[in-house]
Structure 1
């Protein structure tokens, strides 16, 4: 056997191993169709104009085990829920990100692709709504939205976060019609009074056990894929897109439950840092062939489908 033949055998073995990992991942944890469509919209479609034809979406998710019928049901429900808007041109349907959903996707993308471990200045964002100050519907809506953002209910009528983002908070309160109806302030520990450190509130206000387990499971599931990609050839474009989609889908599911607290307040070692580094490494290895597959699929239905925007290549600290 000559050198070229040996190299070809090694290449084939790596491709088979990557495909085997993909098959095993889909069998072990098949993605829910609606949630997967959301992942693909945020990761792949938003950078390309936030719109695609239904036929393109069906082709993109078919290798991930999602049927034509499940895709149609998923986009119908996402339109009903206000995430997408539908349009028709003859017998074809297209789906675009709803304008009001844009800020929510932007926040989710920042959580996924920006490095964890916010610098902390010691200040907390507090929201206060004493009993009777707002109605029950608004109270429930604010709590639901802000708990998704990582806020904790520390006492009745008191929500808090040590790294609250003012812009996101303003958008959320406006969307649930809570602007001007809830007290919002910034607070810091008062020195010299013998109080417990405010940092200890993290242990009492946030249960991080599930988040830690989620990150560790993500690391266990995707570390073998990183090893395969680092040792072998670049995967085929379709397989690379499937890997990238499963990667972000799995990472996003953990991120949705992570309150995104400053690293200084988290137990050490924090597995979220290792999970981010793993996601970053795999994404950098598959994004280019995945983009080739994505553009080929999009342009079969729309010859003018745009290339990814500038923000795309800034993901994970820069893709190139």
Structure 2
């Protein structure tokens, strides 16, 4: 777990979103308060920080809470659940969800860039963007034809574009995470179910924190050999090795 903790500073509110998104990403699902406390405690997060984070998440409409006897339980709101599910494929997918092909496009003017709007667009310079081919796997149509366009082969991009899509800090962060994930996938697992779940959540959180810093198109264009793709393989191994538990069963062990 120490190698994963070194992959980036943990923000308590974000860790809570990861926990609920993993253990309670279904209508009416919830995580008992004692389970939430036990998991965050295993990651070195303080109880006071958790109380502040829970207040913030409730205020911002991400989570709701209710009483279950003397304890609280927490769930994602409809808003929080919708946002969580909107990135589920990008976080959990064995491969990033991307269209089949890409183009580098040059708009005739700065104002024309608005005509190139697309959910998967990647702006790489003023008036220049990467766009999916007109008929992508998602069934959507690309933006109107720009002044100039060049095809881009996923996994075969020039060095300058590689540096734009994946700057050195991202490359280093993915490489560090990949090493930590490999350790988590190969080292002996913790004996207790809560400790195992904490390891799963920590690995997932550090992956989620990185992969959501960019869109799925970045991964497709970089190909299978860059550290981000290797980290995706690493998190898949950890998720398979530590299956998602029922939070109610975790509560029974506390």
SS in 1 for 2:187: helix
Tell me which residue corresponds to 2:44. 65
Q: Does 1:203 align with 2:157?
A: no
Distance across 1 between alignment mates of 2:150 and 2:128: 18
Seen in structure 2, the aligned counterparts of structure 1 residues 44 and 255 have a Cα distance that, compared at 3 Å, is same
1:226 aligns with 2:182: no
Instruction: Report matched runs for 1:1-320 at 5 Å.
Output: 22-23=1-2, 25-26=4-5, 29=8, 31-47=10-26, 49-87=28-66, 92-118=71-97, 120-122=99-101, 151-153=121-123, 161-162=131-132, 185-186=142-143, 196-197=150-151, 203=161, 206-209=164-167, 210-229=169-188, 235-261=191-217, 265-266=221-222, 269-287=225-243, 291=245, 294-298=247-251
Give the drift of 1:270.
2.4
Structure 1 consecutive aligned stretches of length 4 or more whose deviation exceeds 6 Å: 155-159, 163-167
Structure 2: which 5+ residue stretches go unaligned? none
Relative to structure 1, is the Cα distance of residues 81 and 188 closer, same or farther in structure 2, using a 3 angstrom cutoff? same
**How many positions carry a matched residue from both structures?**
243
TM-score of the pair, normalised by structure 2: 0.72
| Equivalent residues of 2:177, 2:206 under 8 A apart | yes
How far is the alpha carbon of 1:280 from its aligned partner?
A: 1.3
Q: CA RMSD in A?
A: 4.3
Q: Is the contact made by 2:12 and 2:50 (CA closer than 8 Å) also made in structure 1?
A: yes
Q: Which has the larger radius of gyration?
A: 1
Q: What is the TM-score of this pair, normalised by structure 1?
A: 0.59
After TM superposition, give the deviation of residue 54 of structure 1 in Å. 2.9
Gaps of 5+ in 1: 1-21, 135-142, 170-183, 302-320
